[in-house]
């Protein structure tokens, strides 16, 4: 067991020094906490996979402090990628681009492309600047757990497994970055996230949604983002997602959840008082999709802690940030969705 230091916000220099010397640091970003290492140090990056229990065929995102770093690690960068960077960086957008040979194979799992993102959390960019290297970081959860959105989540999953965790407060976006593959024409969204599809469509003429976003993979099908094949965001108890008008979905859950304490409910604020006999986690008001995103992973983790045997979840529509929330919830449920 390693001793994990909890670093205060003023200890960015310590976090950067650990990264530079090949160690692992839990780093705050605006989306979720990441598990960072020097992205040019193969051995350090291999340790990320060990700490997470992550399969080696699942590539990592390189985090950079400025779009000006792109040229050092990527080639054949299309004009649209520069336009996206200008509009959305720093921010919750990851672009898949052709990589240069300087990017180690272990980062990209041997692919000839690499995911790159410039995070909006100022402490995260400060660490990267200070370390002077791109930081390879997946989400900081143990493989299969919901992503960490608070420093407490990071400690739950990584205490004793990594060198340090930098406390950057609660994550403001709460779901991971939007991933867009810019190596194909038209560009393809591989994962919905903190930048809504509608905003991408303002900059790009056309964006294709990868089918893995809305449907389970068919048997033997290889997803374009290797991570999409794993059962992600999964709480311990099975999840049933109830999709449709909020009043109807709340009524459906009320009719079917019985009065058992072991049936947990994830619902919009307006309906929380309907479920007083149950463990309840609120997602925010039914129209506030930014709040749903911010609270979703916390709600799933809380359900693990109270030990419920089954989880019922109300689900927002797919507009704006809703698409990312619907994607995470339906994946957590193994696509067990009831339409009302
Ligand atoms: O918001 C985020 O993106 C967070 C924070 C820490 O930046 N990071 C994150 O990383 O969510 P991770 O590793 O949990 O998810 C990255 C996803 C995986 O599904 C992976 O398969 C995919 O991105 N990916 C990475 N590189 C890729 C590539 N070259 N081609 C296709 N998919 C890629
Ligand atoms: Mg992840």
CB-ligand 1 contact for 108 (6 Å cutoff)? yes
Please give the Cα distance from 192 to 198 (Å, whole number).
11
Ligand 1 atom index nearest CA of 117:
7
CATH annotation of 239-339: 3.40.50.11030
pTM: 0.96
Contact between 59 and 108 (Cβ < 8 Å):
yes
Residue 214: phi and psi, rounded to 5, are: -115, -10
What is the tens place of the pLDDT at every residue in 214-242? 887 777 777 787 777 666 677 889 999 99
Q: Please count the other Cβ atoms lying within 10 Å of the Cβ belonging to residue 253.
A: 24
Q: 44-70 burial by CB neighbour count: b if 16+ within 10 A, else e?
A: bbebbbebbebeeebbbbbbbbebebb
Residues 6+ apart with CB under 8 A from 32: 139, 140, 141, 147, 148, 149, 171, 173, 174, 175, 176, 297
Residue 338: phi and psi, rounded to 5, are: -110, 125
What is the tens place of the pLDDT at every residue in 237-270? 999 999 999 999 999 999 999 878 899 999 999 9
User: Residue 97's beta-bridge partner residues?
Assistant: 114
Looking at all shown ligands, the one closest to residue 157's CA atom is: 2
Determine what percent of the chain is predicted with pLDDT higher than 90: 87
Beta strand pairing status for 93-99 and 74-75?
antiparallel
The whole-number pLDDT of residue 232 equals 63
pLDDT at 91 over 80: yes
Domains of the chain by residue range: 5-213, 239-339
Q: Nearest CA to 197 among 340, 326, 331?
A: 326
Looking at all shown ligands, the one closest to residue 94's CA atom is: 1
Q: 187-203 burial by CB neighbour count: b if 16+ within 10 A, else e?
A: bbbbbbbbbbbebbeee
Q: Where are the alpha helices (DSSP H) in the chain?
A: 12-20, 42-52, 70-73, 79-88, 105-108, 122-131, 151-158, 197-203, 246-256, 289-305, 322-332
CA of 42 to the centre of ligand 2 (A): 20
- Cα end-to-end span (Å), the chain: 49
CA of 139 to the centre of ligand 2 (A): 4
Reported residue count of the chain is: 340
Evaluated on CA atoms 254, 267, 34, 156, the torsion sign reads: negative
pLDDT at 1 over 80: no
The whole-number pLDDT of residue 208 equals 96
pLDDT at 85 over 80: yes
The whole-number pLDDT of residue 225 equals 79
DSSP one-letter code for 139: B
CB-ligand 1 contact for 115 (6 Å cutoff)? yes
DSSP one-letter code for 228: G
Residue of the nearest CA to atom 15 in ligand 1? 138
CA of 157 to the centre of ligand 1 (A): 18
Contact between 316 and 217 (Cβ < 8 Å):
no
User: Residue 266's beta-bridge partner residues?
Assistant: 281, 313
Q: What is the mean pLDDT of residues 271-298?
A: 97
CB-ligand 1 contact for 176 (6 Å cutoff)? yes
Average pLDDT score over the chain: 95
CA of 8 to the centre of ligand 2 (A): 24
Contact between 279 and 306 (Cβ < 8 Å):
yes
CA of 138 to the centre of ligand 2 (A): 6
CB-ligand 1 contact for 61 (6 Å cutoff)? yes
Quick check: bond before 307 cis, omega within 30? no
pLDDT at 52 over 70: yes
Could you tell me the two tokens for 74? 């990527």
Ligand 1 atom index nearest CA of 226:
21
Query: Between residues 43 and 228, which one has the greater pLDDT?
Result: 43
CB-ligand 1 contact for 60 (6 Å cutoff)? yes
Ligand 1 atom index nearest CA of 228:
19
Q: Which band of pLDDT confidence, cut at 50, 70 and 90, is reported for residue 99?
A: very high
The whole-number pLDDT of residue 244 equals 95
CA of 143 to the centre of ligand 2 (A): 7
Contact between 152 and 195 (Cβ < 8 Å):
no
The whole-number pLDDT of residue 321 equals 97
Residue of the nearest CA to atom 29 in ligand 1? 114
Ligand 1 atom index nearest CA of 58:
21
SS3 215: coil
The correct answer on CATH 3.40.640.10 for the domain covering 5-213 is no
The whole-number pLDDT of residue 230 equals 62
Q: Which band of pLDDT confidence, cut at 50, 70 and 90, is reported for residue 70?
A: very high
What is the tens place of the pLDDT at every residue in 116-142? 999 999 999 999 999 999 999 999 999
Q: Nearest CA to 325 among 208, 226, 218, 178?
A: 178
Could you tell me the two tokens for 169? 């407060």
CA of 206 to the centre of ligand 1 (A): 22
The whole-number pLDDT of residue 236 equals 86
């Amino acid at each position: 067991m390693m001793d994990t230091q909890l670093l205060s916000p003023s200890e960015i220099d310590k976090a950067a020094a650990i990264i530079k010397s090949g160690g692992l640091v839990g780093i705050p970003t605006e989306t979720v906490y990441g598990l960072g290492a020097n992205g040019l140090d193969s051995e350090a990056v291999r340790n990320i996979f060990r700490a997470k229990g992550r399969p080696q065929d699942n590539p990592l995102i390189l985090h950079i402090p400025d779009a000006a770093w792109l040229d050092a690690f990527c080639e054949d960068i299309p004009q649209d990628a520069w336009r996206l960077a200008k509009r959305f960086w720093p921010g919750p957008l990851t672009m898949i681009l052709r990589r240069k040979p300087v990017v180690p194979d272990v980062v990209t799992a041997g692919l000839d492309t690499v995911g790159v993102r410039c995070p909006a959390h100022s402490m995260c960019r400060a660490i990267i600047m200070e370390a002077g290297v791109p930081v390879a970081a997946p989400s900081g959860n143990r493989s299969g757990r919901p992503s960490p959105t608070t420093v407490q989540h990071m400690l739950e999953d990584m205490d004793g497994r990594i060198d340090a965790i930098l406390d950057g407060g609660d994550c403001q976006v709460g779901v991971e970055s939007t991933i867009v593959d810019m190596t194909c024409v038209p560009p393809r969204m591989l994962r919905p996230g903190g930048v809504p599809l509608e905003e991408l469509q303002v900059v790009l003429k056309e964006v294709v949604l990868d089918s893995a976003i809305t449907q389970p993979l068919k048997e033997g099908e290889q997803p374009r983002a290797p991570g999409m094949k794993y059962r992600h965001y999964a709480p311990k108890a099975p999840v049933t997602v109830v999709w449709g008008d909020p009043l109807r979905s709340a009524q459906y859950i009320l009719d079917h959840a019985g009065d058992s304490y072991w049936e947990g409910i994830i619902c919009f604020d307006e309906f929380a008082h309907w479920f007083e006999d149950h463990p309840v986690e609120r997602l925010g008001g039914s129209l506030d999709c930014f709040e749903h995103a911010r609270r979703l992973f916390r709600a799933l983790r809380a359900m693990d802690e109270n030990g419920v045997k089954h989880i019922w979840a109300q689900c927002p529509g797919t507009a704006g940030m809703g698409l990312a929330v619907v994607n995470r919830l339906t994946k957590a449920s193994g696509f067990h969705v009831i339409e009302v």
